[in-house]
Amino acid sequence: MTLKRFFLAALPLDVVADSAAICALLQGRVFPQSVAFAAPRAWELAQKDPSYAGMLGQMSLVIADGRGVSVAARLACGEACAPIGFESVGFFNAFFETIANNNLTVGLVGGPPGNDEEVQNKLVTAYPGLKIVTTMHGYGDSAAKIEKLMLAAPDVILVGMESPRQESFLLALRAAGYKGFAIATGDFFSHYPNGWAQAGCPAWMRRYHVDFLYRLCREPKRLWRRYLVEYPLFYIRVLQSLAQKARAAARA
């Protein structure tokens, strides 16, 4: 997979082909990997916590999460950048099917106590052959969790925590010597057992790229801030960054 890392409004992004390219890393066991997603909220976090940009910079792969980020990335770097988010049904289906079909083992870390077991039960039902060797919730001492994960040594570790804690966890895993595929999954653990907002979305809404309206209507309490606050602020930051670059180029 050919990557091109560039900076969009001061945060790193890797231009990748599509979800198939990510799954190819799993199928080919191209490890180690530390994978994070950059949704619009990432730019807000970076404003509040300057160390967050540095965390993303240490990831082996930072993926544009959502159509808005992918469009901005294409405009900024001039290359195709597919919208790939772990919340996308198409992506996580391909992701887990690839793991199951290639006999990879999995570790789950995230969500409130008991939630990880719910996710495990639903995943092994949905994806026959999926081998989950250890699960743990996302609260409490990270060092103990990392020690347990290193002993279980799963090929793939899913980390579902709030940012920047999940990115910090990925870096701590790598520092502990983990050599597999570790990926940040955001809210996946908390919401997968109860169904997914994209399920049942009409094909015409996806075709015209307005499926976010369907998700917003399904889960307004969870998603209103993402679409009505975080996205507009993200667009403003990107436009400001592009304008600054244009002025600098004009002065050069």
C-alpha–C-alpha distance, residues 246 and 156, integer Å:
42
Tell how many helices (H) and how many strands (E) occur in the chain. Answer: 13, 8
10-residue mean pLDDT series, the chain (252 residues): 82 84 94 95 93 96 90 84 80 94 97 89 94 95 96 97 95 97 91 60 72 77 81 87 81 78
* pLDDT reported for residue 78: 82
C-alpha–C-alpha distance, residues 34 and 62, integer Å:
9
Nearest to 167 by CA among 79, 52, 252, 7: 52
Q: Which domains does the chain have, with CATH numbers?
A: 4-201 (3.40.50)
Alpha helices in 28-66 (DSSP H): 40-48, 51-57
For 50, other C-beta atoms within 10 Å of its C-beta total: 10
Q: Considering the entire predicted model, what is its pTM? A: 0.90
* pLDDT reported for residue 193: 58
C-alpha–C-alpha distance, residues 96 and 18, integer Å:
16
With contact defined as beta carbons under 8 Å apart, do 116 and 108 qualify? yes
Given CA atoms 192, 34, 47, 250 in this order, what sign does their dihedral have? negative
Place of tokens 């890393």: 25
Nearest to 131 by CA among 161, 108, 112: 108
* pLDDT reported for residue 31: 96
Q: Does an H or E element contain 174, and which?
A: helix 165-175
* pLDDT reported for residue 194: 59
* pLDDT reported for residue 185: 94
* pLDDT reported for residue 115: 86
* pLDDT reported for residue 55: 97
C-alpha–C-alpha distance, residues 25 and 210, integer Å:
30
C-alpha–C-alpha distance, residues 47 and 207, integer Å:
34
What are the beta bridge partners of residue 131?
A: 105
